[in-house]
Amino acid sequence: MNNSVKRLFRSNEPYIFLIIVILGIAVQIRSGQFFTANNIVDLLSALIVPGMFALGEFLALIAGGIDVSFPALASLSAYAVTKLLLDREYQGNVFLAFVIAALIGAVLGALNGLLIGYLNLNAMIVTLGTSSIFQGIMQGTLRANQLAAIPAGMKAFGTTALFRGSNAETGISSMLPMTFLVFVAVCIVMYLLLRYTIFGRGIYAIGGNPASAHAAGFNVRRTKFLMYIMIGIIASLSGICRVCMMQQMHPTNMLGMEMNIIAGVVLGGVSLIGGRGTLTGCILGTFLIVLVENSMILLGIPTTWSNVFVGLVILIGVSVSAYQTMHVRRAKSMNTKEAA
């Protein structure tokens, strides 16, 4: 018992959680609007898309890789699906959109997987390149423009409330769209996959020591290949959610999100060298970034300052956690010596 408590506090999650709570209380004191139903609902709904992207990035980082292509990948497949369904004047429900998007995402992710898994090329550079390619296909080949209307099924999915939260004082109410269910579903699938399948443990094993993973009988190449396919699928689903929620398709407004997503995941304690980090940490870190981005108004800070604060949170957050690991390592080297 004592041991597991100690272990918990050696990780990042409790600290991130603490920061989130403190920030929440600060906002509450300042505006009285933080712990209101509509604000919580707003925050959760703002977490959906970044949260799903973060889950994909989490996989890549755990395996010791990185992915900067997911915004372009998501934009491309979401655009292709929306355009296809519009052209066919498809009237059915959203399910088909998710299926096609997943297929496209799998194909695009397979390209990353092939280059990173089978050719063993540098993940950062590969995804940088495929990001350019995906963007080029979308804007060059498909000549993507903003689509102001979206298929009926997607529209319905984005406007149907899972539940509503309203603020008794201000009378403002917000709704949590059905897309939240997709996010929750992906979270659950990821948890089960990483915890209870040999494939999921293989991702951790590869991130910890690729040579040993190979020796232990994991098919390292295939695992990485499949993993990048999954990242592609998750990113594509997220892209569709975004379109549903925005009620329009804007080809470029997801681009550039990759860096904040990576920062969020790393803030949550996921290591860039691979193998280390938890799903909880990943979501908490992402939530922290979303929280900072969305709480400016409530804190009475003009929204123009939001980037400054996000930047500061990243700088301070990563500095503190880097400093912490440095000290833990030093203390640990002393400990092992005492034990020896």
Q: Which stretch binds another protein (CB under 8 A): 49-57, 73-81, 139-147, 229-237?
A: 139-147
Q: Which residues contact 290 (CB under 8 A, 6 or more apart)?
A: 43, 46, 47, 50, 51, 264
Residue 120 or 159 having the CB closest to another protein: 120
Q: Which of 17, 90, 191, 204 binds another protein (CB under 8 A)?
A: 204
Q: Which of residues 312-331 bind another protein (CB under 8 A)?
A: 312, 314-315, 318-319, 322-323, 325-326
Q: Which of residues 60-99 bind another protein (CB under 8 A)?
A: 68
> CA-to-CA distance for 138 and 142, rounded, in angstroms?
5
Cβ 214 to another protein, closest distance in Å? 9
Is residue 339 a contact point for another protein (CB under 8 A)?
Answer: yes
Q: Which of 25, 122, 160, 168 binds another protein (CB under 8 A)?
A: 122
Is residue 107 a contact point for another protein (CB under 8 A)?
Answer: no
Is residue 294 a contact point for another protein (CB under 8 A)?
Answer: no
Is residue 286 a contact point for another protein (CB under 8 A)?
Answer: no
Q: Which of 93, 209, 248, 280 binds another protein (CB under 8 A)?
A: 209
Q: Which of residues 219-258 bind another protein (CB under 8 A)?
A: 256
The answer to whether 75 touches 252, Cβ cutoff 8 Å, is yes
Is residue 207 a contact point for another protein (CB under 8 A)?
Answer: yes
Sign (positive or negative) of CA dihedral 310, 316, 319, 320: negative
> CA-to-CA distance for 235 and 130, rounded, in angstroms?
14
Is residue 9 a contact point for another protein (CB under 8 A)?
Answer: no
Cβ 275 to another protein, closest distance in Å? 4
Residue 39 or 260 having the CB closest to another protein: 260
Is residue 191 a contact point for another protein (CB under 8 A)?
Answer: no
> CA-to-CA distance for 268 and 264, rounded, in angstroms?
6
Cβ 55 to another protein, closest distance in Å? 19
> CA-to-CA distance for 276 and 79, rounded, in angstroms?
34
Could you please report the per-residue DSSP string of 286-315? HHHHHHHHHSTTTTT--GGGHHHHHHHHHH
Is residue 148 a contact point for another protein (CB under 8 A)?
Answer: no
Is residue 156 a contact point for another protein (CB under 8 A)?
Answer: no
Closest CA to 286 of 183, 195, 212, 189: 183
Cβ 46 to another protein, closest distance in Å? 18
Question: Cα–chain-centroid distance for residue 199?
Answer: 20
Count of residues in contact with another protein, rule CB under 8 A:
82
> CA-to-CA distance for 156 and 93, rounded, in angstroms?
8
Residue 188 or 312 having the CB closest to another protein: 312
Half-sphere exposure in the Cβ direction for 216 (13 Å, CA): 16
Closest CA to 62 of 309, 276, 232: 276
